[in-house]
């Protein structure tokens, strides 16, 4: 489900244990797993539960099938016990990490049993398997046994628990603190990850020169931790992710958003969205952090400064400074049927007018690149609808099945893969129509206020599982076949996945919402009670193409930006030639539609007709690379063809080199 996206941010919590650990000791990771029976409680998941119960037995058979020894029965029993839970897994850091020394990391697995006899029985299985593998065991402190291995491996019974430890045994009790799950929900999974302990290990063992500029960033995040717990009741799957000290850490790093998700951004998501995600961010803070890393990297030249020199655009001042705090993405029926081509990216704008000017400059660069490098097969087309201006990247004469389109409207930048999706997004944002909060499936899973949200995500699982049911079926068939036995026909989980109509009946969506509680960030997520339903919805979401939307900026940077830079750096005269020929072509098109008559001024080429069409796909006539207006002479008695020209860098007639005049006649004749 969606916890993975939040886990990617980061990091969370360790509550002080009642027994003080030795100096330098930290729990890097603690996992408490109640077992699949605690998670797969829904009737739709019982086939999946049965199949998972056979995995350990199947894994024990694999070594012999791969040419190794046939493992004793104890191996399958032990694997089934570990996978089936309950268990506690603890990864700790003891001592101070030192360059060149073995990492001071301990790993400890504890299997709670119903009695001391049960724990001793597990220990006996492990001793038997170790002997089968040729590893002798000898008594160690605390009544445990130690295997004869290159690193200390200890195992044995501790009361009602079986313990297996690498390097050392940590006797300090695990205290996961109070749960944030609903009162009637037991945690099936509880994970705590201390990012600070991991960073202590990384920065302590790696030479400073190897970490480079990343060292400061790693150390800055070193105070952050993450805690995740999940449980199931009769109707829903509940999960909570907490980031303690989030506000302090984000402020220290300059990454704290100036405001939560805006009301206007929430209202911009249609009620018929099939999925949506919104978040609050500090774009300028992220840029400052990135620039600081670049400075520490001691590069021969600042990449952003190079970009500014080549394109005339300063990323921070011309783009990021005009953005607000909210970003979002969604797909909906309103913007194209809810699939791949209905996806929309939205960015809140702090200064829409300033950003619109930046957008026009970017469009000019794309036009210049398209003319200089793609011979006019790529260009920006401006158009209007409902009094709102749009810009589409088009490919004249080529059957390219995309027209990426953007628009600045209602205080946001909207970017879509098609003109229809962009138009639908703008109409949603400007018409005051019903929004995501009016979606019944969203309402069913959303708890609390819609104010002060720092992250929000929604999956319309009943809708998306139509596309995800097929991949889910393939997975279930693979699991069923994988756990079957060639020799024992009775070992068969049977049909895992219910028929689609049965699986979809009563299915619920997924809603994830993050808010601040004091200085902590807390995210609550509510999903369907069936893991198979959630899996089908998630696979349908992934198959609907959101990855492409988030990859689009990277693709643009990979394929378009180099061409823009190349076109801009191909000398100012190269840009002037491209501009002049674009104007020349627009003039000829104007004349063709006006009985051979050319316009009196170039402004006619950028004046929209009643359908919003312009002959020159810009809102204004471009200036030459030296900031001067292009000059225009319409046909006259002694001049058959129109002339479009620039007087060069000096702005005077004639000249040499960059000062030389350039016009459409000499370009067409091949002399310029």
DSSP-assigned letters across all residues of 552-607: HHHHHHHHTHHHHHHHHTS-HHHHHHHHHHHHHHHHHHHHHHTTTPPPSSGGGGGS
Mean pLDDT of 10-16: 28
Please give the distance of CA 298 from its chain centroid, rounded to a whole number. Answer: 29
Res 144: pLDDT: 93
Higher-scoring residue by pLDDT: 222, 618:
618
Res 656: pLDDT: 84
Contact (Cβ atoms closer than 8 angstroms) between residue 84 and residue 57:
no
| Contacts (Cβ under 8 Å, ≥6 apart) of 669 | none
Torsion, CA 297, CA 299, CA 302, CA 303, rounded to 10: -90
Torsion, CA 250, CA 251, CA 253, CA 256, rounded to 10: 50
Rounded (5°) CA angle 661-662-666: 125
Mean pLDDT of 47-76: 85
DSSP structure string for 159-197: TTEEEEEES----SPP------S-TT--EEEEEEEEHHH
| Contacts (Cβ under 8 Å, ≥6 apart) of 22 | 94
Spatial separation of the C-alpha atoms in residues 2 and 242, rounded to whole Å: 14
Q: Which domains does the chain have, with CATH numbers?
A: 3-208+479-506 (no CATH), 246-460 (no CATH), 571-669 (3.30.700.10)
Q: Lowest mean pLDDT: which of 347-361, 526-540, 586-600?
A: 586-600
Longest dimension (CA), the chain: 111
Please give the distance of CA 184 from its chain centroid, rounded to a whole number. Answer: 33
Percent of the chain scored above 90 by pLDDT?
51
Mean pLDDT of 28-49: 95
Mean pLDDT of 308-330: 87
Res 22: pLDDT: 46
Torsions phi, psi of 274, nearest 5? -90, -25
With both helix axes pointing from N to C terminus, report the angle between 531-543 and 546-559 in degrees, rounded to the nearest 10. Answer: 30
pLDDT tens readout for residues 583-615: 988 898 888 888 889 999 999 998 888 777 888
Chain mean pLDDT for the chain: 85
Res 72: pLDDT: 82
For the cut 60, the answer to whether the pLDDT of residue 557 exceeds it is no
Mean pLDDT of 283-291: 84
Helix, coil or strand: residue 229: strand
Helix, coil or strand: residue 516: strand
Please write down the HEC assignment for all residues of 276-329: EEEEECCHHHHHHHHHHHHHHHCCCCCHHHHHHHHHCCCHHHHHHHHEEEEEEE
Closest by Cα among 558, 583, 553 to 368: 583
Higher-scoring residue by pLDDT: 147, 548:
147
Please give the distance of CA 193 from its chain centroid, rounded to a whole number. Answer: 21
For the cut 70, the answer to whether the pLDDT of residue 17 exceeds it is no
Mean pLDDT of 285-303: 73
Half-sphere exposure of 274 (CA within 13 A, CB side): 29
Band (pLDDT 50/70/90 cuts) for residue 12 is very low
Band (pLDDT 50/70/90 cuts) for residue 14 is very low
As to burial, measured by CB atoms within 10 angstroms (0-12 exposed, 13-18 middle, 19+ buried), residue 308 is middle
Q: Lowest mean pLDDT: which of 141-145, 341-345, 442-446, 513-517?
A: 141-145
Mean pLDDT of 461-469: 95
Report cis status (omega within 30 of 0) of the bond before 644.
Answer: no
Res 210: pLDDT: 64
392: which strand partners?
381, 405
pLDDT tens readout for residues 391-414: 999 999 889 999 999 999 999 999
Torsion, CA 562, CA 567, CA 571, CA 573, rounded to 10: -170
Band (pLDDT 50/70/90 cuts) for residue 514 is very high
For the cut 50, the answer to whether the pLDDT of residue 190 exceeds it is yes
For the cut 50, the answer to whether the pLDDT of residue 335 exceeds it is yes
Q: Judging by DSSP bridges, how do beta strands 379-385 and 453-459 pair with one another?
A: unpaired
Tokens of 535: 């899996």
Band (pLDDT 50/70/90 cuts) for residue 369 is confident
């Amino acid at each position: 489900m969606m916890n993975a996206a939040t886990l990617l941010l980061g990091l969370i919590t360790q509550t002080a244990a009642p027994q003080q650990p030795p100096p330098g000791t930290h729990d890097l990771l603690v996992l408490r797993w109640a077992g699949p029976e605690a998670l797969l409680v829904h009737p739709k998941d019982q086939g999946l539960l049965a199949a998972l119960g056979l995995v350990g037995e199947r894994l024990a058979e694999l070594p012999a099938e791969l040419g190794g020894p046939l493992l004793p029965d104890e191996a399958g029993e032990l694997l089934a016990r570990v996978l089936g839970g309950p268990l506690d897994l603890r990864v700790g850091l003891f001592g101070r990490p030192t360059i060149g020394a073995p990492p001071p990391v301990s790993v400890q697995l504890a299997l709670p049993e119903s009695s001391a006899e049960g724990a001793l029985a597990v220990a006996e299985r492990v001793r038997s398997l170790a002997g089968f593998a040729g590893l002798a065991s000898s008594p160690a402190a605390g009544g445990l046994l130690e295997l004869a291995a290159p690193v200390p491996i200890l195992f044995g019974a501790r009361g009602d628990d079986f313990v297996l430890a690498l390097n050392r045994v940590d006797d300090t009790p695990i205290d996961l603190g109070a749960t944030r799950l609903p009162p009637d929900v037991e945690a099936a999974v509880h994970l705590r990850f201390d990012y600070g302990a991991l960073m202590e290990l990384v920065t302590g063992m790696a030479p400073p020169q190897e970490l480079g500029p990343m060292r400061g960033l790693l150390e800055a995040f070193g105070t952050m931790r993450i805690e995740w717990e999940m449980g199931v009741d009769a109707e829903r799957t509940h999960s909570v992710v907490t980031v303690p000290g989030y506000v302090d850490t984000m402020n220290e790093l300059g990454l704290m958003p100036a405001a939560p998700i805006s009301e206007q951004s929430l209202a911009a998501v249609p009620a018929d969205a099939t999925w949506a995600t919104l978040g609050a961010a500090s774009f300028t803070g992220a840029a400052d952090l990135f620039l600081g890393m670049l400075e520490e990297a001691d590069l021969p030249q600042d990449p952003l400064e190079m970009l500014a020199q080549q394109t005339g655009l300063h990323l921070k001042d011309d783009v990021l400074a005009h953005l607000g705090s909210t970003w979002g993405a969604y797909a909906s029926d309103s913007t194209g049927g809810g699939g791949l081509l209905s996806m929309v990216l939205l960015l809140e704008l702090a200064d829409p007018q300033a950003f619109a000017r930046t957008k026009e400059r970017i469009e000019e660069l794309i036009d210049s690149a398209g003319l200089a490098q793609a011979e006019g097969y790529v260009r920006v087309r401006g158009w209007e609808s409902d009094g709102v201006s749009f810009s589409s990247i088009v490919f004249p004469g080529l059957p390219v099945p995309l027209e990426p389109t953007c628009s600045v409207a209602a205080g946001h930048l909207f970017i879509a893969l098609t003109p229809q999706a962009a138009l639908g997004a703008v109409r949603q944002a400007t018409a005051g129509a019903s929004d995501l909060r009016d979606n019944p499936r969203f309402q069913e899973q959303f708890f609390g206020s819609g104010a002060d949200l720092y992250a929000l995500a929604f999956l319309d699982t009943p809708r998306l599982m139509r596309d995800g049911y097929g991949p889910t079926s393939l997975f279930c068939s693979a699991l069923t076949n994988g756990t079957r036995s060639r020799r024992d026909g009775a070992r068969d989980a049977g049909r895992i996945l219910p028929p689609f109509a049965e699986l979809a009946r009563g299915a619920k969506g997924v809603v994830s919402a993050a808010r601040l509680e004091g200085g902590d960030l807390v995210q609550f997520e509510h999903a369907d009670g069936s893991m198979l339903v959630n899996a089908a919805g998630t696979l349908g979401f992934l198959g609907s193409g959101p990855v492409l939307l988030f990859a689009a900026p990277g693709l643009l940077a990979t394929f378009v930006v180099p061409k823009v830079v190349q076109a801009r750096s191909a000398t100012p005269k190269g840009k002037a030639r491209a501009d002049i020929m674009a104007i020349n072509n627009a003039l000829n098109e104007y004349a063709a539609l006006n009985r051979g008559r050319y316009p009196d001024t170039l402004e006619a080429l950028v004046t929209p007709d009643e359908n919003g069409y312009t002959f020159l796909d810009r809102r204004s006539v471009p200036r030459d690379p030296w900031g001067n207006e292009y000059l225009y002479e319409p046909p006259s008695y002694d001049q058959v063809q129109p002339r479009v020209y620039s007087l060069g860098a000096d702005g005077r007639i004639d000249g040499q080199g960059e000062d030389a005049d350039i016009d459409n006649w000499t370009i067409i004749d091949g002399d310029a």
